Each structure stands twice: as structure tokens, then as C-alpha cells.
Structure 1
Amino acid sequence: MTNGEVMATRPLGMEDRSIADSQLSASSCWNTIQCASTARLFNEYQAWSPKKNDKKPWIQVDLRQSFRLEAVLTQGRDNAENWVKSFLVPYSLDGYSWTYSLGNDGQPQVFHSNQDRNSLVVNPFRPAFVARFVRIEPLSWHHHVSLRFELFGAGPIPVVPNTLGLEDYRIPDSELYASSCYHDRNCAKYARLNFAGDERQGETSRYTVTSSEKLPGAWIPRFDDHNQWVGVDLVDKYRVVGVITQGRQDADQWVTSFAVSHSMDGKMWSFIQDCGHEEKIYQGNHDRATPIINVFETPLTARAVRVHPKRWTRHIALRLELLGNGPVAEVGIDENKLGLESGRIPNSSLAASSCISDDAYCSESARLNHEVGGWVPRINDLAQWIQVDLMAVYRLTGVITQGRSDAAHWVTRYTVWTSQESRGNWIPVTESTCGEAKEIKIFTGNCDQFSHFTNRFNPPILARYVLLAPVAWHDHIGLRFELLGEGPFMLPDVAVH
């Protein structure tokens, strides 16, 4: 809502079909006439029903824009004694980072629903939440999961990211740290937006200081060089969409440009990259007091974030705030390996453009952590590729790559191509962060033969077939890899052969 506008709650379009079939997906479907597209309120004869062996069923709506979700109305199956008795509701702004609708205890809210096939049960969301993607995850049911439903809410509405808590001390001193500090009174805990220097509020008591002891209003490192950084450990995983920076409160010192790195575990770090696959440099401040907002082209899902000053006026000095939402629960999406490493994906599902040998260097050796060799094509050129047939549509969230195990050969850059229906209809993974035109995305690969390097797909991709095509390599093409995602599941408008 903006400018005090009141937005009316209304059905969002399941029953009247303003939500199209293509916006609906599910973990699985009993058959083509009991798939996600039949989960519409008052639909006669049918409902969504997952496969019997689906242990974690869900159905999802992509609203295509962000809405304020206020309630869900559910029904069972019209022509059988099947219905859902309880469920969870995870939601997401980007289809990648998920969190659950929470109860008063701060735990995922269990919604109790139907007791027969046709009665309507309303469950309000308290509090309401803003999302583009909404799922229903059944927990208990009568005979078999069967569901018809409608979502209620208001919008579409613009998504305004929240401050994550540096300025107001929701993030405590113990979660701030830095490469170095000029003095104890200049350390990371003072890198808070609008910190005034002479008083503190939050989890500690106010300081009483004399004018000679007045606290400088910023983080100031011991050295002025490119090895300095200040970091925030958010403890949990958050969706981070931007950063606000500010100079020192009591002197003309500020950071004029900086880079940002992020981590899921506080150990493995990645920099936000620009279109040339170099560290993205953000423009900082031009005075000591004016806050400057930088919004990331692609939101991060991260537990920890660092700001690395690159240029500064007089001396590095920084106050900041993070923008985002969370904490987020990733609903088992991020690290689900689809089966190259474990062997669940059989050799018959793998193919390659060529192989230097049929022994240890063909497509079946391209499995992450495979002990002997890896995939090594006969020729080093841009016509080489390796392909996986997942045998069903999956929701792909990323790829992990690795070099050849027995030689210093690895892929440094590559492209990814996918298809839902056939191997002859390839669509490249693209990016549009440098302008409106979409270009084929060049993924950064490995820098040695053993380390893992993970690239995320944001947003995730629905596909059955996946192809990796090396673009650059060290000495010779050598590759082992794993796909990340979830599934399989059926799409209402896609026939999988």
C-alpha cells in the first residue's frame, strides 16, 4: 500500500481462472486430469492429487507479481472421499528463497482444514505476508491427498525491502566483525547507519563519555588498503537485496566505492560479479552524512555479508545498513543433489559430444567426486558438450562443477542449456543484469582440478534435459559435475515423453 491507499481483499484467481494453468505446478500428479490445473475451487469431479509414493507433496502458484496474501480457502475432491486435513504454507518473493507462514510461537503454522469433500474451510494468514510464489504442503489427509483451493489477498503491490537491523540494534554487536580496527573505539560494532558517536542504544546500556572520549561515528580500519572489510553475520539465512552506506559522523572521511561478498556458511565466500565476471564495484558516498542506497541486480540468499572498500576520501570510514527479508527457509531446495554423484542418474541418461577414451573419460565419468578421470572430450573447441536426461521435469536450482581428478584439466567458463520436451529444443540460461536485452549467461567455473564451484540459477529453471557447454578451460577440457534441484513433478501443460 502507498499513500494511505486501502487495498481490498479479493480472490486472486484460482476459481475464475485469471490464474492460468501455466502458473500452477506440483511435486507430482496422479494423472493428467488430477494435476495442478484441476486444484481450482468448486471444480467439479476432479482435484489435484499427487502420486501415491510422493512423500512430500506440494502444489504451487506463481502469481507473477507480488501480492499481500491474507487467507486460503480449501476444499476436498468432489467425486471421492479424499481431502487434506492439515497443511503448511511456504512462500517466496523470487521462487528461490522460501519461508513459512509462522504461528504465534515463531514456528511454521500448521493450518487445519477439511473434514469432508465439499465443505469450505477458511484459514487466515496472521500476519498477512507479501509473496509472488505460494505453496500448500499437505501434512495429513483422509484416504489420499486431494485439494481444491483459492487464495485471497490484495495487490499487486510493490515490494519494499526491510532494513535487517544494524541501525536499530536488532543485529547485536556480537554479529559484527572486521578485518582490522584503528582503535577499540573504531571497530565493527560502530558501523551502524546513523550511529551518532556519542551514545548507543540497543542490547547494551548507553555510554557516558566526556568530550575527549567521544566515540567516532563509524568503523575505521587500521590500514587504508584493499584488504579491509567489515562483515555482518546474520546467524540465519536471509534474502539480502541491497546495502545503504554512510561516512563517518564526526569527520570528513567516507568510502567512495566498494565490493560486496557473501556466504552461506561464513567459510566459503563469493563476490557479487559484474557482466565481465569481475567483482562488481558499487558507487559509495560523496559526503560524510548522506546515505547512499545500492540495490543488487539479483537478490542474495546469504547468512553473512561483507563490504570491501575500494576507494575512499582521506581515510576508510563506514556506517551501513543491509536491506532484505527473512529469515528464509529454503524448503529443501538449495542443496538437493539430483543424483550424478550418488549414481541415481544412470549412465544411460548421460551423453557427450565426444570422449578422448571410452574407459575413464566419457560421460559416465563426469560425476562429482568421481575418483578416476572425468569427462574429457577428444577435441578442445566450442563444439563440445555434455548432457543429462533427468527422465522427468525437475526444478533446477544450480550446478556444482569440478575438474578432472587425475590431471590439471578443468573448465573455467561454461554455458547451460535446458529443455522440457526434447533434446532438439534447447534454451540457454540467460541474464539481463547489464541492460534490458537478455544475453546467454557465461558461468564461472573452476580454478583447480579438485575444488567444487557452485553456480545458482536465479530464478530456478523447469527442465528435463540439461546440457553444459565449455567456453574456456585450463590446458584441456576436464569436467565432473552435479545438478541441484527438486522433483520430479508434472506440469499441467507439458507432456513428458
Structure 2
Amino acid sequence: IDTGKVQTIAGVVTQGARTGQGWVTFFTVKVSDDGYQWKDVRCQWRFQGNTDASTKKRNMFNYPVTARYIRIYPKSYHRRVAMRAGVLICMMPCNGGELRYRLDKGNMLSMTDGPALDAAWGSGFFAGDDGYRFGPGKGLQVDQDVEGCMNNHKKGKIKEKDLNSAYTIVLNTKLDQTWRWARLINSKGWGDKGLYFHLYRLRLVGSPLACTQRFLPHQWFTIGMTRDDKGTIALYANGALCAKGAPMVLKGYELDRNNIDFFHDDGNENSAGYVKDVWVYNKALNEKEMADLAGCRLSEFGTPCARTIVFSPRKSQTKYSSIYANNKPGYGYGQGTLNSPRSWSAAARTNQWMQIDVDMVRSVAGIVTQGRREARQWVTGFTVQTSLDGITWVPVQCGVEFEANRDQNTKVRTIFRRPVKARYVRILPTRYYNWVSMRAGVLTCERKCEKGELQYPFRGNFMSATKGPNLDAPWGEGNWDRWDSLGYRFYRGQGLIVDESRCINPSNWTVLVKARFDQTHGWRKLFGSDTWGWDGLYINQQFQMMPKSSMMKCNERILPNTYYNFMMSRGAGGMVNLYLNGYKCSWGVPPFHQGFKPSPTSLEFFHGPNHQHSAGYVKRIAVWDRVLSDEECATESECKLAEVASQCNSTVTLIPPYSRMKVSSYHHHPRPGSQCNAGRLGSSSAWCPRHRDKSEWIEIDVGFVHRIAGVVTQGRGDGWWWTTRYFVKVSVDGRKWRKVECGRIF
């Protein structure tokens, strides 16, 4: 036996064959410093060996000897020569307050001296590269005296208050079962408390500390537990911090000064398994030291997030390891963005990933996942890697496996223990239901909105184009139009909400909603705030405020399935303005809710009480931290205001000659004033365009620039035809045209 170095040897320990087929009854011993020149121990003294196959027989030399190598020579035996043997060496103080046991080396000695591990409850066996195999309840123990290396006390007389209470314990192990209770670490005086596996989780029993990741049986894990001198406990999985706190029991889980137990419980809360490495330190290692010990490279930590948003990427910001049927990203089975009509489905079952580019290096706080929308396929577990450059990748939390989905459409949020700094994020499925199919987004830190604006363009996600918070759908999500032409589809009661507190001043603001409703008769909530109760902006054939006593209503009739730009502003003194398609249609100072001053944390859209809401589509929502001018409101609604003239005291009806009238088209090419080209008021017929669409027009030249107060229309004088709705454009020169009242439908 090579003991590794020249040291003091006190004796030998022997056993018979594990199979019980034989043992050595007497033997002699020789020792050597170099493995070449050998000396007898006690002049070829015949040491008594074993009397059975399993009992360990200790033989102490009369006087310890100094040597590195030791040879045992059997002299007599039972049945056949069969022996298992070890060496008794003098225990040396451990180096640097560390105990390092490499059980895959075939012994229980510490590589840094100090006490050996002891199989106090029954022996297992060494299993080569898998280390030491122990049976249920047959764990290991470190037993040291009060001068031992874990008791890093002050020099001189030992006092209780001087004993060291900080420690680190690390186990590289795999267990046969992790579902039932299985104790990992115990110390005298802890009773039934200690570190356990239970329900695939790592738990410090007697405290609320637990690691949320799954620890499956028959898999290797590096489990760590540290305690600092103030009683703060930290738990680690594969080098990553997974739980931390300061338990109030057992003096913060102080170790007994003599005793540390591994894998043993006095009851039945045990599991068989393997252990390769046991490390014990008389100090609390920090996060980096624990990661290094487990062979893990930690991600660079980002700035902690006050609030998070969901970054849902465009198709150009996603990459995939493979796509089923070789579809292109963004099409078919390559639609991995959140809320997409399908999902990303991999071409293979293993070693797959989805990659998201979050535009720039930023703090990444977690992941959001969904399954496949139209089929029962989803990912149930995954790991995450991040990169600053798309080339070098670092596992998040040392490769911890995160829990994912249990159905197709529920969004599952996974929060990292600490945000990491990254631009590229890879999600690597480890478990799945039916197939590797997933939709995903990234949780990033919310950033302050730019220029006091929130701009939501609804391009497949709820993100603001000017930073700031995301919109949220707390009452259920609708659907996204695949080509973005219709926007976001919301159903009855499925409104949206945003917490604008970090961006918008509730005293001075403007909001724009570009939307269309399936129904516009009956009260349909458009916009409100939680402090307004049932009141707010509504559609009931007209755009108006509730309560009715606000006396704020726009005259134009709101049509179903037609897009409108609805705007509202609130300024100093509670002055409220309403705009429809950019044109101011009502204003006043309503005496309700402090002039409709919203809650600082709640702007709500499309969700009303008692079914006072409609399904519909929304293309844009915008909020400004100021009152926009009339011109700005028109511009934001894509309207160019006609030049406003002074009010008329009275009006007259101008009926021009046919020489000053033009039309876009007419039936049968008649001359002006006859048949379907007779558009003057009071004619016997009418103007009848060739096509029944909204592109047709009739034009009147009033002769010179006038103040025009309105128009007068009639139907056809010789038939039952008439126009029911129209809008008006005006021009000063006949070339540049602008809509009256921003396209108001008369």
C-alpha cells in the first residue's frame, strides 16, 4: 500500500473476502521509504489476522514506524488467501482548515490531513470512478477532537465562545432516490433537522430554506451548505446559490465540535447512493469560491431590477438549433415568439435550443415560456445560457434546470436568483411533453420611458417602443394578428392595464387609443382607472364620458368594425379635452374624480363593469406626460387640420353653376346638369357615381377663398337613392386637400 508520502504509520486494518470465501489468519509486515529497500516490522512478527470475512481487525504496532510503503505478507489463511486492508496512520492537523476527501481514489483519507471519514454505521464499497457506494442508512462520519481543524479557536485555553462557528460543506453525490426524505448532512444535537432531499428538492429542515430546482435520482449533483459566523446559511446546487437566510433554530445550525454525519438518519429517512467528494472548511466560502469548487463559471451579474418587462422578440431576433420541416424562422414551425399562432418545434428531441437577441447588453432577470398553441406539446424543463457577444456562452446559475410549462398556453415566468448581464439568451429544453415545442420571451429590467412617453405599437408584444413598463393583460390574453395589419385582438372583458407611475404625471397627461369595436351600441368601456370606478371614457354610438353629467360627448356616430383614434387629455385645473381622429370634439372641467385624475399606478383599457365592454382590435396605445396641443393631437392621429376661420354670425347656402362643379365619375357620360351629372341642390336628378365605393367624390368651387361653415346635401330627385354618410375635404388651391374635422363622418 502506498500511503502517498513518508509519514508515521501506527498499524494496519484487515478484512476477509467480501463474498465470505476466505480470510487471512496470520501475516507479517514490511515497510519502505522508497519502495525498494524494505524493513521488517517487529522482526517478522506474526500479527493475528481475521476470524471471519467481514469484521475489521486492527493491529497496532508496539511503536509507530516512519514509512511511505507498507507490505502485508499472509502466513496462514482460512480456505484461501483473501484480504482487504488499510493502514493506520497518525492523524495530522488538517492544512488550512480544510478537509478534502476524494473517495474515487479508493480511500477515506483527507488529502489535507486531519481525520479520516468513518463508515460508522456499516461499510459500503469503493466503486472506482463513481467513488464510494453506501447503502441506505450506512453513511459516513467525520469525528474529530476539540483540537480538530474545524474548531478554529483562538490560541491558548479553549473557551466555548472562542470556538469557530463558520463552516462550508460540499458533497459531490448521486442518490438512488430523492422523492422520499433522504438526509444529506447532520450533526450531533440537530435531531431530525438538517439538510435533506425531499420531493426532488433540497431542503434545510427546520427552516424555510429550500432550493426550487429538481434533483432527480441517479444524477450527479454538487451540493453545498455554508454558515458564516453570524449564522447566515447559504445552500448551493452545482456551484450556484439557490437559497439563503438566517434560521433561528439550533443556534443557526452550528456544528457539533466533534461530529459531522453524511447520508445517515437514525430512522428511515435515508437513501443509498454514491459519493465522490466531500469537502469541509472551517469558514464560509463565498459565491465565486463555491462556483469554482463545482467547476462552474458564474455569469456576470447585472443591475437588480426594480420592475421587469417581457421582451418578446421579433422573428429577426430569434435563432434556433433546428426547425421541424426545415421551416424558416418566423414561419410554420419557426414561430417561437410569445403569443404566436404556433410555436418553435425542433427537428430533433435532444441538444436543441432557442436563442433570443435582446438588442443590447442589459440586465436579464428571467424567462417566460409557453407551449405550442394548436397542439398538446410543451417544454417541461430547461436550462439557460447567456452571452455578451454570441460566441462565448455561460450557464445561468451553473446550469440549473428550471421548471417550465404544464399546458399549451399558460405563460410561466422563471425568475433568476440574480439578474445577469447579457445580450444573447439561449433556452435549452431538457424535458418536454410529446415534443420539443416552445414559445418564449425574456424578462429584462424596466427602463425609464423616453421623453415622458409610452408608445405601444402592438407588433406582436406588449412592449413600449419608448421603454418604460409593458402593458399587462390581467383579465386574460387575446390573439395577435399574424401580419400585424389588424393589431391585437381582445375579447369581451379582456382589457389591458399599465402601471405608469414611473413615467406619467397623473395631473397632466394625454392618452391615445387607436382601436375598433365589434359593437358600438350600448355602453362599451374604452379607458379608465381603478380610482374612477365605473366612470371613464365609453363608446355608446358616440364617444363620451361617464357619468353623463360630465356633459362631454362627441357628435359623430361611432361605427362598429371601424378604426378610430380616440384621444383624451387632462391639464391644469382639471381641464379635459376629447379628440376623435385628431379633432377636438368636446372639452370641459368635469367635477368628478378630481377632474378625472387617474391612479398613479393604473391606466385601464377596454375592461368595464357588468359586461360594459366589447371585443375588438387595437393597433396603438400612447400616453404622454403632458397635455398635447390641438395640432399635436391631429398629427398623432395622422390628420392635417384645415385652416380654421372665424365664426359666422349667420350662414347662406351657395349653389354654384355646373361650370364650377366636378365629380370623380358618373353614369353614361351625360353632360353637366343632366341625368347622373346633376349634383346641384334642387336638381331633378342627382350626381350618380359609376362605382359604389369610398373613393368617389363631388367637388364644388365656391369661386374664391371663403369661410365655409358646412354643407347641404339631398338625395336623387327622380329616384330612391341617397348618401347616408360622408366626410369632407377642403382646399385653398384645388391641389392640396385636408379633411374637415379630421375625417369626421357626417
- TM-score by structure 2 length? 0.23
Which structure would you say has the larger Rg? 2
- RCO greater where, 1 or 2, for CA within 8 Å and sep 6 or more? 1
